[in-house]
């Protein structure tokens, strides 16, 4: 069959390539007021003399162009999004409806407290639920993201040590940590000391013990860690730190593996953050608003950021008079819409539902692990929590790297997994299916990954050149990041 050119294709030309001279998206009526000179009216620095190559197109051409491009976007509403460490789960529409309720969506941050009682109640209730889920005594909802929560948490630890007259300067971080952890510790003014993991991918307790002295302010640990393994020795880790006068910080971004099953406060954590945009179902990716609430044990409560909500005989009020507080970490009261979605998600699930979601997340990750373990190398053979991490060591013998496998996965219609992270696994393939995926969707993903493993054996070159079903295949990623081309130059197009 001879090739035909489909009218609407996945090879949408650039808007510039649709341009024809003199076309315009709007028509203005003839001028009925005196003409003014743009340069005189606006100032010459604001008037462009020449707009070279600017596309001249009609309104419908613009609308169709962007509508077509938008349909190329891979989203959680389209299919499995197995990006490890990111918890890309489906976000129920109910949460969106609740966040848009009039009176919530249209509230103004300068609205007086007396007219904001329901909004304050939302925050108070969410604080209580998150405290209960984490087994902690108090929660601030203000940090705007996970990394912001980390910074807030470390500033609390700093304030605590300083109040005890014992400022310390070192933060210990396992080598499996998310990159934000060392960055946060450094921005909070601490020296970072890395703790190497043991052969099982967990914190090496003996190494930790040797590292804890009176200069150590805290250990930042992710549990389950970034290789998807629960830190079994966490209680012993907490005991060692506390005996040395240090605090235990937990990066709770992976709470999707624990909620309703285990509470960090019960295994010795002093302070932690949550990623509401991961565990508590807010749409994320692409830089949209998130929230990184911080939960603390009682001894850190006096240092929490301003303001705090308290019960007054006349209703709920903000308390600004807290002399030990680290102060403000954000304008107003956090990303309120995200907080509403999280509360809606928690209420809709209830305790049993949250627990079920966790169990299903862990089950799905183990199902994927079992489906792929004959095809890809598993560096750590412990049972997975919410995600599983493979390495490309088998495929790299044939010259195929984790990035090549991810590109080939695009041809099969899936968003890639997380590539080359965590750093302690060479050539990592990090997969987090989440609980919202059906067995059918997981099976389709497993088949695609198995098919790619077979392709590597048969025709490694094919996988190295993928993807084939996209407008652009391989780009020089380093150059694209360092020297992006943001100016369009006309070029001829067949
Ligand atoms: C996502 C993530 C973070 C950072 O959260 P942001 O909201 O992106 O700032 C930190 N630690 C871990 C383990 C994560 O997965």
Q: What is the pLDDT of residue 6?
A: 65
Q: pLDDT tens digits for 65-122?
A: 999 888 888 889 889 999 999 999 999 999 999 999 999 999 999 999 999 999 999 9
In a domain, 281, yes or no: yes
Do 288 and 176 fall within a single domain? yes
Q: Of 322, 347, 372, which residue constitutes the final position of a domain?
A: 347
Do 384 and 341 fall within a single domain? no
- 400 C-alpha to center of ligand 1: Å? 29
| Confidence (pTM) | 0.89
- 151 C-alpha to center of ligand 1: Å? 12
**How far is 218 from 165, CA to CA, in rounded Å?**
16
Q: What is the pLDDT of residue 27?
A: 87
Do 302 and 385 fall within a single domain? no
**Residue of 81, 83, 85, 149 with the most ligand 1 atoms within 8 Å of its CB, for mutation:** 85
Q: What is the pLDDT of residue 464?
A: 97
204 in ligand 1 pocket by Cβ < 6 Å?
A: no
Q: Of 305, 322, 347, which residue constitutes the final position of a domain?
A: 347
Do 322 and 411 fall within a single domain? no
In a domain, 53, yes or no: no
Q: What is the pLDDT of residue 493?
A: 47
Q: What is the pLDDT of residue 384?
A: 86
Do 219 and 320 fall within a single domain? yes
In a domain, 125, yes or no: yes
Q: What is the pLDDT of residue 491?
A: 55
Do 239 and 260 fall within a single domain? yes
Query: Residue 449: CA atoms inside 13 Å, Cβ hemisphere, count?
Result: 27
225 in ligand 1 pocket by Cβ < 6 Å?
A: no
- 421 C-alpha to center of ligand 1: Å? 13
87 in ligand 1 pocket by Cβ < 6 Å?
A: no
Q: What is the pLDDT of residue 70?
A: 85
290 in ligand 1 pocket by Cβ < 6 Å?
A: yes
Overall number of domains in the chain = 2
Do 255 and 323 fall within a single domain? yes
Q: Which atom of ligand 1 is nearest to the CA of 292?
A: 7
Do 335 and 444 fall within a single domain? no
Do 398 and 425 fall within a single domain? yes
Check which CATH number belongs to the domain holding 449 and give it. Answer: 3.90.1150.10
Q: Which atom of ligand 1 is nearest to the CA of 222?
A: 13
Do 397 and 450 fall within a single domain? yes
Q: Of 347, 381, 402, which residue constitutes the final position of a domain?
A: 347
Q: What is the pLDDT of residue 32?
A: 94
In a domain, 78, yes or no: no
The domain containing residue 464 runs over which residues? 358-479
147 in ligand 1 pocket by Cβ < 6 Å?
A: yes
221 in ligand 1 pocket by Cβ < 6 Å?
A: no
Check which CATH number belongs to the domain holding 183 and give it. Answer: 3.40.640.10
- 147 C-alpha to center of ligand 1: Å? 6
**How far is 137 from 113, CA to CA, in rounded Å?**
25
123 in ligand 1 pocket by Cβ < 6 Å?
A: no
The rounded Cα 5 to chain-centroid distance in angstroms is 39
**Residue of 231, 275, 286, 418 with the most ligand 1 atoms within 8 Å of its CB, for mutation:** 275
What is the mean pLDDT for each group of 10 consecutive residues in the chain (494 residues)? Answer: 65 87 90 92 87 87 92 87 94 95 94 95 98 98 97 98 97 94 97 95 95 98 94 97 98 97 98 97 83 98 97 93 97 94 97 98 97 96 90 98 97 95 95 97 97 98 93 86 76 48
In a domain, 4, yes or no: no
Do 391 and 246 fall within a single domain? no
Positive or negative, the CA dihedral 63, 68, 74, 76 is positive
272 in ligand 1 pocket by Cβ < 6 Å?
A: no
Tell me which residue has its CA closest to atom 4 in ligand 1.
146
85 in ligand 1 pocket by Cβ < 6 Å?
A: yes
Tell me which residue has its CA closest to atom 15 in ligand 1.
85
Do 333 and 439 fall within a single domain? no
In a domain, 484, yes or no: no
Beta bridge partners of 251: 222, 273
**Residue of 89, 179, 187, 253 with the most ligand 1 atoms within 8 Å of its CB, for mutation:** 253
Q: Which atom of ligand 1 is nearest to the CA of 226?
A: 13
253 in ligand 1 pocket by Cβ < 6 Å?
A: yes
Q: What is the pLDDT of residue 1?
A: 46
In a domain, 90, yes or no: no
In a domain, 18, yes or no: no
């Amino acid at each position: 069959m001879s090739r035909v050119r489909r009218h609407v294709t996945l090879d949408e030309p650039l808007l510039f390539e649709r341009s024809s001279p003199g076309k315009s998206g709007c028509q203005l009526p003839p001028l009925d007021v005196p003409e003014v000179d743009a340069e005189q009216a606006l100032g010459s620095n604001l008037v462009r003399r020449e707009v070279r190559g600017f596309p001249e197109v009609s309104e419908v051409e613009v609308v169709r162009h962007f509508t077509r491009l938008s349909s190329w976007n891979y989203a959680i509403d389209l299919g499995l999004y197995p990006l490890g460490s990111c918890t890309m789960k489906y976000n129920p529409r109910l949460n969106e409806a609740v966040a848009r309720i009039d009176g919530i969506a249209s509230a103004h941050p300068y609205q007086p407290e007396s007219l904001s009682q329901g909004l304050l109640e939302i925050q108070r209730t969410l604080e209580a639920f998150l405290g209960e889920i984490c087994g902690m005594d108090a929660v601030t909802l203000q940090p705007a993201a996970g990394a912001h929560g980390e910074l807030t948490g470390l500033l609390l630890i700093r304030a605590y040590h300083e109040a005890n007259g014992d400022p310390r300067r070192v933060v210990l971080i396992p080598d499996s940590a998310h990159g934000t952890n060392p960055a946060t510790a450094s921005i909070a003014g601490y020296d970072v000391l890395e703790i190497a993991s043991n052969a099982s991918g967990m914190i090496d307790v003996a190494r930790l013990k040797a590292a804890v002295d009176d200069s150590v302010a805290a250990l930042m640990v992710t549990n389950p860690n970034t290789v998807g393994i629960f830190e079994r020795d966490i209680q012993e880790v907490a005991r060692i730190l506390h005996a040395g006068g240090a605090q235990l910080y937990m990066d709770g971004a992976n709470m999707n593996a624990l909620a309703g099953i285990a509470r960090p406060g019960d295994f010795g954590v002093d302070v932690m953050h949550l990623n509401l945009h991961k565990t508590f179902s807010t749409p994320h990716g692409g830089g949209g608003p998130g929230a990184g609430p911080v939960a603390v044990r009682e001894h850190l409560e006096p240092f929490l950021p301003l303001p705090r909500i308290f019960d007054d005989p006349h209703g709920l009020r903000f308390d600004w008079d807290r002399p030990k507080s680290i102060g403000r970490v954000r304008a107003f009261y956090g990303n309120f819409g995200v907080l509403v979605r999280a509360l809606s998600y928690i209420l809709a699930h209830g305790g049993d539902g949250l627990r079920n979601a966790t169990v299903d997340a862990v089950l799905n990750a183990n199902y994927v692990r079992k489906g792929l373990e004959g095809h890809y190398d598993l560096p750590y053979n412990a049972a997975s929590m919410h995600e599983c991490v493979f390495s490309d060591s088998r495929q790299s013998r044939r010259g195929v790297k984790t990035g090549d496998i991810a590109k080939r996965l695009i041809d099969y219609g899936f968003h890639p997994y997380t590539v080359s992270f965590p750093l302690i696994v060479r050539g990592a393939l990090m997969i987090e299916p989440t609980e919202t995926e059906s067995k059918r969707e997981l099976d389709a993903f497993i088949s695609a990954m198995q098919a790619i493993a077979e392709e590597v054996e048969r025709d490694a070159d094919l996988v190295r050149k993928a993807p084939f079903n996209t407008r652009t295949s391989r780009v020089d990623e380093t150059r694209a990041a360092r020297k992006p081309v943001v100016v369009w130059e006309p070029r001829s197009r067949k």
